């Protein structure tokens, strides 16, 4: 009799089925302890998994990285070594915080409003979800980790070890506190490590600005890609081998807009071939500038709030502006002078505070904005300069004045304490800081008359920023502008050759403005102040 032969009715699959095979065998291998090193006398081989961040799921980069690790640890086992592949995940604090914050925002929940403890509760839920997904993904890859030793970078033992190491380094004098440049996220308002910063090459613009020498002997031209940071400049650097500037080292310049005196110094970091060879130095906002500042004992002036808006260390008209809005405003203000010079004007600076009179032979006078209320007494006491400006007005020299210039050309000015001081007296303006109110915003204006800058009916853009008020507004016959985006209100005074207004006209808003002013001045003696 033939023996009974039992056969299986199940047929072998003609294709590999991962779910069928891997879901069966991986748990068997894991349960058997195949991935756990047994204590015996043998060479050890240990790998710490590059812990994936619990910010989401694994990527193809993780697949490649962990496959290479798996190959190495399996080879070590085959060689008879005590091979340990230690698994775990990383909390990735800032990156995970950003993910959780964004998730809450999508649900209409504010991180700031719910408080620290509730936010941490949401963060732990996120970790459990995505940390769990990551571990399952690694197991699906067949990663031969010893899962009995799995750790998370915020586990108590792990955190305690980190703190212990930190304290030890501190007591050894290897950790210390000091001012340093860091990566800062103004949106999330948190520091970033270098590894969390994504660098991108972008096509920038190199602006060139004139920094006048404080002794009045000329100016330096600096080049920069971040004009807004100039408000925090505390020095100008040149290369010590650059013969163009050797004689200027040790002198100083007046920082435009701010009017702060800052030194010219030599530093080998400066590239003589880049830009003009003159570098504006802002130690608080550039790592290279910070190092130059330390080497040359420069003041560090931070001009930004944590949200990247300008703080109180800048002129009033810039306080509160976003960095990009500040950049536009700086460029608009400084480009006006550059445009005038580009059209052939010889710019001759003068100081209403310190000079006794206007330079001889000027063909026009341009008085920009400022803070005359802070120097009302000094401006008033400089009688010879006031008479010199008034004489130019009476001789019909073209005079264009903005904001602080308007106040200076008026009859009187009351300062912050309410004390009234005589000014030039060229226009019927009595300005005061009493009951001060901020007037701020961009303006669309139309010229009411022909003047040194605009023709009648010409429309241009500008901005207004001032705290002062004037006792009387111009009547129709005296008005320089109609502010078209504010119900056509009259603005500024036109008397003879004088144009004076609170409006800061953007010369770059119309290509005809700069050449018209230059031509008007050239009809006199050919110079503009």
Give a yes or no: residue 13 inside a domain.
no
Looking at residue 3, its pLDDT comes to: 57
Query: Residue 103 belongs to what domain range?
Result: 18-171
Q: Are 398 and 298 found together in one domain?
A: no
Residue 462 in 3-state DSSP?
strand
Residues 103 and 222 in one domain: no
379 and 501 fall within a common domain: yes
Q: Are residues 405 and 511 in the same domain?
A: yes
Domain assignment present for residue 71? The answer is yes
Is the same domain home to 397 and 515?
A: yes
Report whether 339 contacts 345 (CB < 8 A): no
Residue 152 CA, chain-centre distance (Å), reads 36
- Secondary structure (DSSP) of 8-69: --PPPPSS--HHHHHHHHHHHHHHHTTTSPP-SSS-EEEEE--PPBTTS---HHHHHHHHHH
Domain endpoint, select from 171, 199, 227: 171
Q: What is the pLDDT along the chain (529 residues), one digit of tens a residue?
A: 555 655 556 677 788 888 888 888 888 988 888 899 887 778 999 999 999 999 989 999 999 999 999 999 999 999 999 999 999 999 988 889 889 999 999 999 988 899 999 999 999 999 999 999 999 999 999 999 999 999 999 999 989 999 999 999 999 999 888 888 899 989 878 888 887 788 888 877 777 787 888 887 777 888 888 999 999 999 999 999 999 999 999 999 989 888 899 999 999 999 998 888 999 999 999 999 999 999 999 999 999 999 999 999 998 889 999 998 888 888 777 767 767 776 778 878 788 888 899 998 888 998 877 778 878 999 999 999 999 999 999 999 999 998 889 999 999 999 888 899 999 999 988 998 876 677 777 788 999 888 888 889 999 888 787 788 887 766 656 788 989 988 888 888 888 889 899 988 877 667 788 888 888 888 754 344 4
CA dist., res. 260 & res. 17, Å (int): 75
Residue 135: helix, strand or coil by DSSP?
helix
CATH of the domain at 267: 3.90.740.10
The answer to whether residues 517 and 392 belong to one domain is yes
Secondary structure element (H or E) that encloses residue 505, with its range: strand 504-505
350 neighbors 364 (Cβ within 8 angstroms): no
β-pairing, 261-266 with 252-254?
Answer: antiparallel
- Cα distance between residue 323 and residue 303, in whole Å: 10
In a domain, 92, yes or no: yes
299 and 364 belong to one structural domain: no
392, 467: one domain = yes
Looking up residue 74, the CATH number of its domain turns out to be: 3.40.50.620
Contacts of 240 (CB under 8 A, 6+ apart): 249, 266, 267, 268
């Amino acid at each position: 009799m033939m023996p009974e032969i039992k056969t299986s009715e199940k047929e072998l699959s003609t294709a590999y089925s991962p779910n069928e095979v891997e879901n069966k065998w991986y748990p068997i291998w894991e349960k058997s302890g195949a991935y756990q090193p047994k204590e015996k006398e043998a060479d050890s081989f240990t790998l710490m998994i590059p812990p994936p961040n619990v910010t989401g799921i694994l990527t193809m980069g993780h697949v490649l990285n962990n496959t290479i690790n798996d190959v190495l640890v399996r080879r070590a086992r085959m060689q008879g070594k005590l091979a340990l592949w230690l698994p775990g995940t990383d909390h990735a604090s800032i990156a995970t915080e950003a993910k959780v914050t964004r998730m809450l925002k999508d649900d209409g929940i504010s991180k700031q409003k719910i408080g620290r403890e509730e936010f941490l509760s949401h963060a732990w839920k996120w970790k459990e979800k995505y940390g769990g997904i990551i571990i399952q993904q690694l197991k699906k890859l067949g990663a031969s980790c010893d899962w009995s030793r799995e750790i998370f970078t915020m586990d108590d033992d792990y955190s305690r070890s980190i703190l212990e190491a930190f304290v030890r380094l501190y007591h050894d004098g290897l950790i210390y506190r000091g001012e340093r440049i860091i990566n800062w996220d103004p949106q999330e308002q948190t520091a970033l490590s270098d590894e969390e910063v994504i660098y991108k090459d972008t096509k920038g613009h190199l602006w060139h600005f004139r920094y006048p020498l404080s002794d009045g002997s000329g100016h330096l031209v600096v080049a920069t890609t971040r004009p807004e940071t100039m408000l925090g400049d505390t020095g100008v650097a040149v290369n010590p081998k650059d013969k163009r500037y050797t004689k200027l080292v040790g002198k100083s310049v007046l920082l435009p807009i701010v009017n702060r005196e800052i030194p010219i110094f030599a530093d080998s970091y400066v590239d003589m071939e880049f830009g003009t060879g003159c570098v504006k130095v802002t130690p608080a906002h550039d790592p290279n500038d910070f190092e130059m500042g330390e080497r040359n004992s420069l003041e560090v002036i931070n001009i930004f709030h944590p949200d990247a808006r300008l703080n109180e260390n800048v002129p009033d008209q810039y306080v509160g502006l976003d960095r990009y809005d500040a950049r536009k405003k700086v460029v608009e203000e400084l480009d006006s002078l550059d445009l005038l010079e580009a059209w052939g004007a010889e710019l001759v600076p003068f100081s209403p505070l310190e000079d006794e009179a206007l330079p001889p032979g000027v063909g026009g006078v341009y008085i920009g904005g400022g803070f005359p209320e802070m120097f009302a007494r000094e401006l008033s006491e400089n009688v010879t300069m006031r008479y010199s400006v008034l004489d130019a007005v009476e001789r019909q020299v073209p005079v264009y004045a903005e904001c602080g210039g308007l106040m200076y050309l008026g009859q009187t000015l009351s300062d912050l304490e309410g004390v009234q001081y005589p000014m030039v007296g060229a226009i019927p303006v009595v300005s005061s800081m009493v009951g001060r109110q901020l007037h701020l915003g961009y303006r669309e204006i139309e010229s009411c008359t022909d003047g040194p800058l605009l023709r009648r009916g010409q429309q241009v853009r500008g901005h207004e920023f001032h705290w002062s008020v004037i006792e009387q507004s111009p009547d129709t016959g005296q008005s320089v502008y109609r502010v078209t985006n504010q119900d056509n209100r009259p603005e500024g005074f036109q008397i003879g050759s004088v144009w004076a207004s609170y409006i800061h006209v953007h010369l770059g808003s119309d290509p005809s403005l700069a050449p018209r002013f230059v031509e008007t001045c050239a009809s006199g003696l050919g110079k503009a102040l």
